[in-house]
Amino acid sequence: MTAVAAAPLSYPGPIESDVFVRDPPSSDDVTLVVYEWHNVQPGVLSWVFPSLAAARQAVRAMKNAVRWLVVRGRRDEPPADVDEERARGTVLEEV
Tell me: the pLDDT tens digits for 42-81? 888 999 999 999 999 999 999 899 999 999 999 888 888 8
Name the H helices within 1-95. Answer: 52-61, 82-88
What's the DSSP call for residue 85? H
Going 43 to 49 to 76 to 11, the CA torsion angle's sign is: negative
pTM of the model: 0.70
